[in-house]
Amino acid sequence: MTTNFITKKDISRKYYIVDAEDKILGRLATQVALLLSGKRKTDYTPNTDNGDFVVVVNASKVKTTGLKSEQKIYKHYSGYPSGQKTRTLGKMMDVKPEEVIRHAVKGMIPKNKLGSRMITRLKVYAGPEHPHKAQAPEKIEVSEG
């Protein structure tokens, strides 16, 4: 048997659109991470970035389970003394709902150069409108389980 490895000239990328309305944050993020990494393709190669573009709409309507909106904390440090800022998930959903999904997906992709390229193909929008209609994105339904 021979193993076929995909090369840069063999890569073909598609656009997928995911509606985040009433979806659970973590389960949505795992499905999006699989699309970004290309693991749903038959020609998946771990050392090659052959994932697709993913457009997530309605990010402000994503759901969480339990008391995460009050208990989950996002931290940011400015680099200066006493420059650490904290926000709860509820506050982040009010201010930047796109960053909540981006942060969840970023934690599920590799922490290397491939992961850095993958996260650039993730486009997240708070509402239902997006500027990627010209790419004719294929609507994909993420499973709940």
* CB-count burial class (<10 Å; 0-12, 13-18, 19+) for 126: middle
Residues whose CB is less than 8 angstroms from the CB of residue 117 and which lie 6 or more positions away in sequence, other chains included = 49
If one counts every other C-beta atom within 10 angstroms of the C-beta of residue 33, the result is 23
CATH pick for 14-65+99-139 out of 3.40.50.450, 2.40.50.140, 3.90.1180.10, 3.40.50.10860: 3.90.1180.10
- pLDDT tens for each residue of 119-128: 999 999 999 9
pLDDT grade for 145, boundaries at 50, 70 and 90? low
pLDDT of residue 114: 94
33 or 45, higher pLDDT: 33
> 73-113 pLDDT, tens per residue?
999 999 999 999 999 999 999 999 999 999 999 999 999 99
pLDDT band at 45 (very low <50, low <70, confident <90, very high): confident
Question: Is 101 or 43 the better-scoring residue by pLDDT?
Answer: 101
What is the structure's pLDDT at 13?
Answer: 93
Residue with tokens 């693991």: 39
Mean pLDDT of the chain: 93
CA atoms within 13 A on the CB side of 25: 25
Question: Which pLDDT score is estimated for 15?
Answer: 97
Please give the C-alpha separations between residue 10 and each of 3, 44, 85, 110, 139, in angstroms, as whole numbers. Answer: 15, 11, 44, 22, 24
Q: Does the reported pTM lie above 0.75? A: yes
Q: Is the pLDDT of residue 1 over 80?
A: no
Identify whether the C-beta of residue 97 lies closer than 8 Å to the C-beta of residue 62: yes
CA dist., res. 5 & res. 23, Å (int) = 35
Once rounded to an integer, what is the mean pLDDT over residues 59-76? Answer: 95
pLDDT score of 137: 95
